[in-house]
Amino acid sequence: MTSIDQDRIVYQAPVNRLAWRDTHIYASDSRDTVLGGLWAAEGITHTCLYSMVGILCIFTDTFVLQDDSQRLVERDEQPLQPGNYYIITNGSITITNKVPLLRTLSLYTGTRVQPFFHSVRLRDRRCVITGRPAVINGVYYWDGFEITVLPASGSHGTINSVQNGMLLTRDMHALFASYQFSINPDVCGIAGAHLDQLFLNHPHRPVDELFRWHFRQAVLANMKGIGEPCFETDFPPGSDIMGQIMSGPKAGERMEFELFGRFNAQGICA
C-alpha cells in the first residue's frame, strides 16, 4: 500500500454510510436481502426503530419486528441492540422511492441574512444540542458557533424566519447538516438526552414539523440502501474546491446546492 493510499483511507470521507452500520433490516421471507440498516447509537430505542422502518418502507398491512432469535421486538423504550431485525407482516413491503434533500455544510452571508442570524443568536445564546454557552466572562463570543437552517414550509414564513434556525457549535452543525444525527420530537431523544427545556418552551423556536422533516430526511439518508454519499467539506486553503466537488459524488446536485446557497440567501440553507 502506498502512502497516497494510506492518506486516502485516513482522510477521505467514506463513499457511503455502510461503514458504520451495525444493525440491518430484512424482510422475514427474504433473509438474504438487506432492506436497510443503521448504527444503533445511544438513545435509539425499539420505538425509534419502528418509527424509522415506517419511513423506510411502505406497508399494505401492519407489521412487527423480530430479532435474530425470532423474539418479538416490542414497541417500547428499551435500547436498541446491534444485530439483525426482521419485518413480519401479512401484507407487502416496498422500499420507498423517496430520496433525501441534498444538504451539505455551507456558510451563507449577505445583508439579507444578518437580521436572521442576530435573531437566532439572541434567542438561543448557546448550542441547543450540547448546551455550550456562547458567553465568556459575561460577553457573548460567537466564534465556534454556526446557525443551521431548516427549510421553510407552508405557513412558517421565509427561510430567514427565526423559527427556521438553531444555534449550534461548528461540529454539531456539520453533523446535523449531513444528517448524521437528527431530532424526532415524537419518540426519540438525542443520545439518550433531550433538547434544552428553555429552548423547547420558547414561542419562536423551530416548530416540530420542521424537526420531523429533518428526521425523515436523516432516515432516508442513513438507512435506505447503502445510504447517501458522505461529502468532503474540509478543503485546505488554495484547494480547487469546485474541481473536487465536480469529481465527487452527486456532483451536479451538489454544485447546484452550493451555487444556489451562495448566490441566493433566500434559498435553502444547510
Going from N- to C-terminal start, the domains of the chain cover 23-95, 114-263
Compute the distance between CA of residue 39 and CA of residue 19 in angstroms, rounded to an integer. Answer: 9
User: What's the pLDDT at 10?
Assistant: 46
Taking the whole predicted model, whether its pTM rises above 0.95 is answered as no
Question: Exposed/middle/buried for 138, CB within 10 Å: 0-12, 13-18, 19+?
Answer: exposed
User: What's the pLDDT at 236?
Assistant: 58
Find the range with the poorest average confidence among 93-102, 130-139, 156-165, 193-202: 156-165
For the cut 70, the answer to whether the pLDDT of residue 188 exceeds it is no
pLDDT tens for each residue of 67-82: 999 999 999 999 999 9
Find the range with the poorest average confidence among 154-163, 221-230, 247-256: 247-256
Q: Which residues contact 129 (CB under 8 A, 6 or more apart)?
A: 168, 169, 172, 176, 190, 195
Q: Where are the alpha helices (DSSP H) in 105-196?
A: 114-124, 170-177
Q: Mean of the pLDDT values across residues 117-130? A: 92
User: What's the pLDDT at 268?
Assistant: 36
AA letter at 200: L
For the cut 90, the answer to whether the pLDDT of residue 185 exceeds it is no
User: What's the pLDDT at 257?
Assistant: 56
